Amino acid sequence: MQICYTDSLEKVPADAWNAVSGIDNPFVRHEFLVALERHDCLLPYGWQPIHVLVHDNHQLVGALPLYIKTNSRGEFVFDWAWADAYERMMGKNYYPKLVCSVPYTPVTGPRLLIAPHVERASVAAALTGGAQAVAKKLQVSSLHYLFSNEIDTPFLRQQPGLMARMGYQFHWDNRGYSDFADYLDRFKSKKRQQIRRERRDAQSCGATIEMLDGYQATAEHWAIFHDFYSSTFLRKFNVPALSLNFFKAIAKSMPEAIVLVMAHLDGRYVAGAFNLRGTDTLYGRYWGCGEHFRHLHFEVCYYQTLEFCIEYGLQRFEAGAQGEHKISRGFLPKATWSVHWLAQPAFALVINQFIDQETVAIHEYIEELKTHSPFKGKGGRARIKQD
């Protein structure tokens, strides 16, 4: 096997990359990642590609999306405190570091992209070895695999010098619901009434909801939605990193994966939410609005998309990072994982102790969250997958 690196996916054929990434998860597809590069989305927060490629007889059999970072923005696994502690303890700058992830995307997915026809363990070892080698060559402080999935995480945890950090998100699981009414029937009475009230409030403004894929969404739709998206970030004094051309590009290159929800009222669009669809999962990513209407956010971001999942038989809906308010709407806590390598053994020991303490606290918090599940009966307790 030959290991090499590339500073741009423009240099990797789309069919070769997608042969190892698959198309189940839209965020690791060539179309998505290359659009980030082409349309200036990596620049605001300094994601510099240095992807790991593994070839066997000149055929790409493995890939690892890897970036050099000089900050921790757009990652959603927070290590600002680590950076401060590293600089005080080691007397060195924590940055640059290496991050294996999808920029701006707190979505669990494959990080070791491996062709299905090869012996997985050897390619996985080549990928992680390649990442480790470039980390040492560049003399970075650390290497981080963020939001690794249930296949990659166990392998990564077994590698010498890597430590796993637990997080959590709120995900929705399809338990074979026939329609939204059937879904609500599983709720406790009080929670069921709350959702019905919220939907009535949202619908009382008179807005109609449009569900658009990439074939249906026009340039006008994308321009309006990008304004909504940008306004959300600017109100929070953040930079809207994704450009209008990025959204247009992926709508053209992967139209079947787009689920754009737009609220239309009196000849104008007033709100919108952007989602991406995988093989069996819907991923909620961005929301924005031009006008405020009571509970329209919940209707556009959750209830309409849950109806979509039920109608099309999608098994999961991941609505993004954070948000305890999602529990009352049927999104239950699920463990997420990141895996970390730190160059300095003394600092790694300190962080490992911190992670042990943090994990206990997260376990306790998840146990508390379980008690707030909206579902009645035995289904009322959230099942937390720990590994």
Strand partners, 262: 210, 272
**Domain match, 17 and 150 both:** yes
pLDDT at 380: 46
Residues 75 and 26: beta-carbon distance below 8 Å: no
- In this predicted model, what pLDDT tens digit does every residue of 19-55 receive, in sequence order? 999 999 999 999 999 999 999 999 989 999 999 999 9
pLDDT at 215: 98
pLDDT at 383: 41
Separation of first and last alpha carbons in the chain: 31
* Ramachandran class of 91: left when φ > 0, alpha when ψ lies in -120 to 50, beta otherwise: left
- In this predicted model, what pLDDT tens digit does every residue of 69-88 receive, in sequence order? 999 999 999 999 999 999 99
Mean per-residue pLDDT for 130-137?
98
**Domain match, 36 and 179 both:** no
pLDDT at 322: 81
Which residues contact residue 67 at a Cβ distance below 8 angstroms, ignoring those fewer than 6 apart? 42, 47, 48, 49, 50, 98, 99, 100, 101, 103
**Domain match, 197 and 139 both:** no
**Domain match, 269 and 126 both:** no
Does residue 264 sit within a domain?
yes
Q: How confident is the model at residue 378 (pLDDT cuts 50, 70, 90)?
A: low
**Domain match, 251 and 144 both:** no
Does residue 16 sit within a domain?
yes
Which residues contact residue 359 at a Cβ distance below 8 angstroms, ignoring those fewer than 6 apart? 165, 166
> Does the pLDDT at position 64 exceed 60?
yes
**Domain match, 227 and 375 both:** no
Does residue 357 sit within a domain?
yes
Averaged pLDDT of the chain = 95
Does residue 323 sit within a domain?
no
Residues 76 and 106: beta-carbon distance below 8 Å: yes
**Domain match, 232 and 156 both:** no
**Domain match, 284 and 369 both:** no
Q: Which of 368, 370, 367 is nearest to 382 (CA)?
A: 370
Domain assignment of residue 243, given as a range: 175-314
Does residue 320 sit within a domain?
no
pLDDT at 385: 41
The CA distance from 52 to 25, in Å, is 19
Q: Which of 28, 118, 11 is nearest to 64 (CA)?
A: 28
pTM: 0.95
pLDDT at 128: 98
> Does the pLDDT at position 176 exceed 60?
yes
Count the domains in the chain. 2
Does residue 235 sit within a domain?
yes
Domain CATH code at residue 214: 3.40.630.30
Tokens found for residue 42: 């990596």
Which residues contact residue 226 at a Cβ distance below 8 angstroms, ignoring those fewer than 6 apart? 240, 243, 244, 247
> Does the pLDDT at position 95 exceed 90?
yes
pLDDT at 323: 87
Does residue 197 sit within a domain?
yes
- Rg of the chain taking only CA atoms, in angstroms: 21
**Domain match, 43 and 156 both:** yes
Mean per-residue pLDDT for 334-354?
97
Does residue 319 sit within a domain?
no
**Domain match, 292 and 205 both:** yes
**Domain match, 131 and 220 both:** no
**Domain match, 158 and 179 both:** no
Provide the percentage of residues in the chain whose pLDDT is more than 90. 94
